[in-house]
Amino acid sequence: MKLNRTAVALFLSLLLATPLWAAKSDNSAAELLHLLDYIGVDYPTTVEQGVITNPGEYSEQVEFSQRALTLIETLPEGEPQRELLKQARTLQSLIADKVAGNKVETLTQTMQKQVIELTGITTTPRRAPSLSRGQQLFQAHCTSCHGTTGHGDGPLAASMDPPPIDFSDRSRQDKRTIYGLYNTISRGVADTGMRGYTELSEADRWALAFYTGTLPFSDADVTAGNKIFQSGKHKELVSNLDALTRLTPELAQLQAGEDGVAMLAYLRANPGVLVGGTAALGKARQILQQSLDAYLAGDSKQAYRLAVSAYLDGFETAEAGLRNLDTALVSDVERTMSNYRNLVKNDGDLQEVRDAYQAVDVLLIRGQELLATTSLTPTMTFVSAIVILLREGLEALLVLAAIITLLIKADRREALPWVHLGWISALALGGVTWWVSQYVVAISGASREVTEGVTALLATAVLLYVGFWLHSKTHARSWQRFLKEKIHGALHGKALWALTGVAFLAVYREVFETVLFLEALNQQSGSSEGEKMLWWGMLTGVAILLLLAWVLLKTSLRLPLRLFFNINAFILFILAIIFTGHGIAALQEAGYISAQHLALPEFDWVGFYPTVQTILGQSLVIAMIAGLFLWERYRNTHSPE
């Protein structure tokens, strides 16, 4: 009992400590990026032709460059870190020699890119920010210094040294990224009137950063950018939110001229056009292209890693929305992407790999076109939300109903709190997992799939155990013996923890995936009316699940004892087979198990995925069920009364 509690406490501690450790690591990288951004933007105004024009600012550049070097020393050791250390010392030398500002600016931009690549720090918001919210925050927190229009002419500006930034100054703002603005809002700037707004949520800080990033541009710039974006011209300039937050107007100008600056102005004012299914499929195509390039360069391991990422971090985030429109297309994409991964993993023929890549790319383009031209109606959003809740919740509900009914029939209601502890803990931990992924540190697609796969297979083992146990009680004498020896005895220790574990595993594997699907649906709904219908659909789905739970309990309690055990054992066996399919498929998607596809239809609702591995796994479970069923029948036939 003590050991089990200790193990559970240790598991939960590690689970919660991991994202917090990662957040601390991200915090150091974020500070480093903040310093490099500040140096790159401010240094050119402190030195002109080798002469210091602002001694106070110059002193800060020297101090910040030393701090940047210290932070780089804490990064993971290896060649990338050694290169950054070399560059940091070069940066200190350039500042000490009072070189031209463009050299320092270029070096800091290069270093920022390398820090992001080395640390993998997230430089983009979790969802598209609200510009109206950003404007409200600006008026509430920023106008006293920066003025109502951001010209640096607020009531307190005259008394401040240095003066507040003029956000309409293009010479300065052309060097700023949205991520740089976000970091400044989050951390502030030492020895200035700009403090960090840590009391604001992450979403609010991103909203404020995006709104501030629109101030250098006019309405005419935004209108012109809209036309350019809609025409598809320069679409390679910004393909997703991550690219948008790291692009400066200066770089947009270099890459696409005035068109690039105008399009950047439009996208900063309308970041929502870069999220949702279309952007996710664009990300999948981009990563897949990188995978092919790596394979052509002879790096098959990197190519395979990127191929897995293209599916998990790109396509799968759009899967729920695309499935609402074309289920067959989703199945085709999954099959062709799996085929591409297998070829890359097994060092396939170069032409075959190219052909497989092309097949995937064609399907992803078709998916982009479908999502771009089709939006869910409020009614479709409502129905889809109900379907998602029922699809993800029904399996867990069947398991919980079987256990709860068993305890009630055995007149052991005092054990019910342990079952409730299991499913309530699963909901709570699922909520924590979602919160961690949204607000602390991103959970990669691979981590998500491994969690789902392992949990599903653990649930399979538990379901088989409980199913065999239920089946063994179908004979009257077995039930009477059980009542005498177990149920009417002390139900405690391992038995109670087992009840909690079954309920936990049955529910937890469904929770995070449900949230993921509902978020994708929310992005695709595209309107306030659609969002409202999404909530109504969720509430309706929960109500239906509660009604089904009530019906299942009432029906089960009225069943004859033998029929009750047979039906519940059958349900748990079927669920064990389904969970086996889900678990193996999830590990295949994460790249831990290979997948040999068969020319058969897929029925993911019942856990049937047409691969050799999933069918073999499910066949093994079926054979175990059949073998133990025969053994139980033989034992009951030949055992004495």
Query: Looking at the predicted structure, is the pLDDT value of residue 526 above 60?
Result: no
* Mean pLDDT, rounded, for 176-199: 87
CA dist 195 and 141 (Å) reads: 11
Cite the DSSP H helix spans in 526-560. 528-558
pLDDT given for residue 34 in this prediction: 84
pLDDT given for residue 496 in this prediction: 62
CATH numbers and ranges of domains, the chain: 18-119 (1.20.120), 131-154+164-274 (1.10.760), 277-373 (1.20.120.660), 381-638 (no CATH)
pLDDT given for residue 522 in this prediction: 67
Q: With bands split at pLDDT 50, 70 and 90, how would you rate the model's confidence at 487?
A: very low
CA dist 333 and 438 (Å) reads: 27
Quick check: helix, strand or coil at residue 148?
coil
Identify which of 461-470, 559-568, 630-639 has the greatest average pLDDT.
Answer: 630-639
Q: If you average pLDDT over every residue of the chain, what do you get?
A: 78
pLDDT given for residue 486 in this prediction: 42
CA dist 602 and 456 (Å) reads: 19
Quick check: helix, strand or coil at residue 188?
strand
* Mean pLDDT, rounded, for 406-410: 72
CA dist 515 and 534 (Å) reads: 12
Identify which of 305-309, 317-321, 432-436, 586-590 has the greatest average pLDDT.
Answer: 305-309
* Mean pLDDT, rounded, for 421-429: 84
Identify which of 36-40, 265-269, 421-425, 560-564 has the greatest average pLDDT.
Answer: 265-269
* Mean pLDDT, rounded, for 449-455: 57
CA dist 334 and 363 (Å) reads: 10
Query: Looking at the predicted structure, is the pLDDT value of residue 611 above 80?
Result: yes
Query: Looking at the predicted structure, is the pLDDT value of residue 284 above 60?
Result: yes
Query: Looking at the predicted structure, is the pLDDT value of residue 186 above 70?
Result: yes
- DSSP state at residue 588: H
Of 54-63, 479-488, 586-595, the one with minimum mean pLDDT is 479-488
Q: With bands split at pLDDT 50, 70 and 90, how would you rate the model's confidence at 435?
A: low
Query: Looking at the predicted structure, is the pLDDT value of residue 317 above 90?
Result: no
Of 198-212, 287-301, 402-416, the one with minimum mean pLDDT is 402-416
Please tell me the pTM assigned to this model: 0.52
* 277-296 and 327-345 helices, crossing angle to 10°: 20
Residues 6+ apart with CB under 8 A from 181: 209, 212, 213
Q: With bands split at pLDDT 50, 70 and 90, how would you rate the model's confidence at 178?
A: very high
Summarize pLDDT for 70-86 with one digit per residue, the tens. 999 988 888 888 999 99
More confident residue, 638 or 120: 120
More confident residue, 406 or 220: 220
Task: Find out whether 561 and 411 touch, Cβ atoms under 8 Å.
Answer: no
Query: Looking at the predicted structure, is the pLDDT value of residue 17 above 90?
Result: no
* Mean pLDDT, rounded, for 134-163: 91
More confident residue, 147 or 309: 147
Q: With bands split at pLDDT 50, 70 and 90, how would you rate the model's confidence at 627?
A: confident
CA dist 267 and 245 (Å) reads: 10
Q: With bands split at pLDDT 50, 70 and 90, how would you rate the model's confidence at 13?
A: very low
* Mean pLDDT, rounded, for 510-523: 67
Of 66-70, 146-150, 182-186, 229-233, the one with minimum mean pLDDT is 229-233
Record the tokens describing residue 32, joined without a space: 């480093």
* Mean pLDDT, rounded, for 56-60: 85
Query: Looking at the predicted structure, is the pLDDT value of residue 3 above 50?
Result: no
Task: Find out whether 360 and 307 touch, Cβ atoms under 8 Å.
Answer: no
